[in-house]
Amino acid sequence: MADKATLTIDGQSYEFPIITGTEQERAIDIKTLRGATGGVTTIDPGYKNTGSCQSAITFLDGEEGILRYRGYAIEALAEKASFLEVAYLLIFGELPTQVQLDKFDKDIKAESHVDEDMKKILDGFPKSAHPMGVLSALTSALIAFNPSSVNVDSEEDMYRTIVKLLAKFPVLAAWAMRKKKSQPLDYGDNSLGYVENLHKMMFAKPNEEYKVDKAVIDALDKLLILHADHEQNCSTSTVRMVGSSHAGLFASISSGICALWGPLHGGANQAVIEMLESIKEDGGDTKKYMAKAKDKEDPFRLMGFGHRVYKNFDPRAKIIKVAADDVLNQLGIEDPVLDIAKGLEKEALEDSYFVDRKLYPNVDFYSGIIYRALDIPVEMFTVMFALGRLPGWIAQWKEMRENKEPIGRPRQVYTGENFREFKEVSKR
């Protein structure tokens, strides 16, 4: 296959190298385009055809429905690994030995305290505040209490900062939920595993002994793994962009949380349940909502459907759909919205509007049904997504800094006014 691309502008030809990735993806390297052509650039709204970086972390094949973290298939990791193992894999590139995993766990536990004064910031929020806004603010506020986390000039600095964030982020997420539910904040228990401790901080009752429910923890662990990374999605690209200015890790992650909040991205898991609930309230008439989703005059979209990259199926959605059935059976829960979701998926798979546009359930379509079965409030669903995505964001940020990537600064095509003389207000 060709290793060069030729572009002809005004009769002049320009050659650009074609780079090939380890999975044979090819990209035209246009680093020299503007200089070589005297100012011509490219434009690609939403970056649908534009790569921002070369990365060794996650591989997606949208046509084949493949997702791999550092070469390991998501199906194997979801089945056999723990979330902490996957976090280590994404961040450091290899599955940890038992010794490495034990040290990682110990180092994280040693950093799991959060400064008491952070509670004053939490207290300042109204109970009505959305937990994603609280989480983003508290993550940014962590900088003030950990000033050494900003400049990560050495491997030790980087490791210590990463461990601090992995340790404190679940505490802040749990605090956001307990604030919402007007419950006292919980400090966790370092004798528990990472995901068990997260669940305890979220759900432990002050007047009862916390008991680990293995089915619940296993479901949560699997969901966090499935959300852990997804190459250059909107929030990860935000984390890389903010980090490219050498803003610290905590500031970059705080920005990523805000990008994930949007209903077209991670906020979709909350929007899916709200949509399914409204369909249920409306008598379960899925055909009516399918028609609305196809009506260009109607702003309604089938939330949890469609994906920028997956044009076949989202492998995560397939795993979560099976897990939803398992978890509800194990917990003895009947949730009518699961049947509505399955009905919508079946109808969409037989409807040319969705088939022609290659719109299939994505990671957000079924995940909320499990979160709900685990008694997680709907406004916390996207926080759960952020908890899962944290190691991926960290890994991508670390890669961007280690590769010494330049500050992100896209070009534009200006379409505004040509030069105009200033006019005094009396003459306007």
Catalog residues that contact ligand SDX under the rule CB under 6 A: 46, 230, 233, 264-266, 268, 293, 301-309, 357, 359, 362-364
Q: Which of 186, 307, 314, 335 is catalytic?
A: 307
Active site residue 307: yes
Tokens of 408: 């992100």
Shortest CB 185 distance to ligand SDX, Å: 29
Q: Which residue, 188 or 306, has its beta carbon nearer to ligand SDX?
A: 306
Measured from each CB, the residue nearest to ligand SDX is: 306
Q: Which is nearer to ligand SDX, 46 or 184 (CB)?
A: 46
Closer residue to ligand SDX (CB): 221 or 314: 314
From 351, 8, 386, 404, select the one nearest 174 (Cα to Cα).
386
Cβ atoms of 394 and 233 within 8 Å: the answer is no
Nearer to ligand SDX, 130 or 178 (CB): 130
Identify residue 379 by its one-letter amino acid code: E
Select from 6, 5, 14, 10 the least CA-distant residue to 35: 14
DSSP string, 89-153: HHHHSSPPPHHHHHHHHHHHHTT----TTHHHHHHTS-TTS-HHHHHHHHHHHHHHH-GGGS---
CB of 262 to ligand SDX, least distance (A): 8
Q: How far is CA 346 from the centre of its chain?
A: 27
> Which H or E run includes 306?
none
Give CA–CA dist 336/286, Å, rounded.
13
Do residues 168 and 112 lie in contact, with contact meaning Cβ atoms separated by under 8 Å?
yes
| Identity of residue 173 | A
**Phi, then psi, of 101 in degrees rounded to 5:** -65, -45
Nearer to ligand SDX, 167 or 259 (CB): 259
Minimum distance between the CB of residue 354 and ligand SDX, rounded to whole angstroms? 8
The Cα 365–Cα 385 span in angstroms is 13
Shortest Å, Cβ 333 to ligand SDX: 24
Residue with tokens 């976090």: 87
Backbone angles phi, psi at 16, to 5 degrees: -130, 140
Minimum distance between the CB of residue 256 and ligand SDX, rounded to whole angstroms? Answer: 10
- Of 149 and 269, nearer to ligand SDX (C-beta) is 269
**Smallest distance, Å, CB 51 to ligand SDX?**
14
- Min separation Cβ 304 and ligand SDX, Å: 5
Report strand pairing: 72-73 vs 66-69.
antiparallel
Q: Is 230 labeled as catalytic in the residue annotation?
A: no
Angle at 90 between CA 64 and CA 221, to 5 degrees: 85
Euclidean distance between CA atoms 261 and 266, whole angstroms:
6
Active site residues: 307, 364
